[in-house]
Amino acid sequence: MHKVMIVDNEPNIRTGLRYLINWEKYNFTIMSQAKNGKDALTKMEKEYPDLIITDIKMPGMDGLELIKYIREELHDHYMNFIILSGYDEFNYAKEAIKYNVRNYLLKPIDENELISTLELINRELTKESLYENFYEGNTKIFNERFENIKEISLLIEAIENNNNEEIKKYIETVFKYFRESNLHPRIIKIHIDNLIISLSNIISNMDGDIDNIVRNYCFFRTDLTDLNVT
């Protein structure tokens, strides 16, 4: 369900909107109500809406000031708004166009116009949600493939402890995993690059220069020629 905040200084408007339609039928739920822009911002700190339906002229912070604040101060360029205005306020309400607000409803609010506007916004929000779910799902898969190679962590730990037997064992295990896995070569290269960075940090804490360390530690002699990591 997409969360809706209603902002209007008139209680009867706020209540009327709540009961004008079955919001859940159109994939929306009334999250909160506010009496002006300042009240809305305070309530947004606790729970952030997907859609704000706001009157224009209100005491304190009015609707345009609220929209401007969300766009410029909160840097939210994607918040959906529906502006409520009377005929005498419409020219003033059109100022919101420069803040990328396109949805207006004239008072008294027509039920069918409200439903049509909500259906349009629902399609946009659903499209965004599908993209976010796709992105998050693929990011999760990538992270699992990228991070969950415990042998690399064990290898680094063995190097830190200067345990040559463990170092040799985990090097063989790691590179066997790389050879047999279905990881993309670029992902393998990222793993190796990160391993080298970790080794560099260890080296910086060791005595002697890099030539001495290379001569004394066999783990720098691993053959990488059979891995396609270019």
Q: Based on the domain organization, do 21 and 52 belong to the same domain?
A: yes
> What percent of the chain has a predicted confidence (pLDDT) above 70?
70
Final residue before a domain boundary, out of 87, 118, 142 = 142
Total domains present in the chain: 2
Which domain does 51 fall in, by range? 2-142
pLDDT, tens digit (0-9, with 9 covering 90-100), for 1-51? 999 999 999 999 999 999 999 999 999 999 999 999 999 999 999 999 999
The predicted structure's pLDDT at residue 51: 97
**Confidence class of residue 228 from pLDDT cuts 50, 70 and 90?**
low
pLDDT, tens digit (0-9, with 9 covering 90-100), for 103-115? 989 888 999 999 9
Cβ(40)–Cβ(13) below 8 Å:
no
Q: Based on the domain organization, do 67 and 175 belong to the same domain?
A: no
In this structure, how many other beta carbons lie within 10 angstroms of the beta carbon of residue 194?
13
Q: What per-residue string of b and e applies to 11-49 under the rule 16 or more CB within 10 Å gives b?
A: eebbeebeeebebeebebebbbbbbbbbbbbebbeeeeb
Q: Based on the domain organization, do 46 and 127 belong to the same domain?
A: yes
Q: Tell me the β-bridge partners of 7.
A: 34, 54
pLDDT, tens digit (0-9, with 9 covering 90-100), for 177-192? 777 766 666 667 767 7
Asked if residue 226 is part of any domain, the answer here is no
Final residue before a domain boundary, out of 97, 126, 142 = 142
Tokens of 200: 């560099």
Tokens of 143: 């992270």
C-alpha–C-alpha distance, residues 188 and 160, integer Å: 22
Q: Which comes out higher in pLDDT, residue 176 or 32?
A: 32
Q: Based on the domain organization, do 211 and 191 belong to the same domain?
A: yes
**Confidence class of residue 173 from pLDDT cuts 50, 70 and 90?**
confident
Cβ(56)–Cβ(83) below 8 Å:
yes
The predicted structure's pLDDT at residue 178: 74
Asked whether residue 93 carries a pLDDT value surpassing 80, the answer given is: no
Cβ(94)–Cβ(44) below 8 Å:
no
pLDDT, tens digit (0-9, with 9 covering 90-100), for 47-83? 999 999 999 999 999 999 999 999 999 989 889 999 9
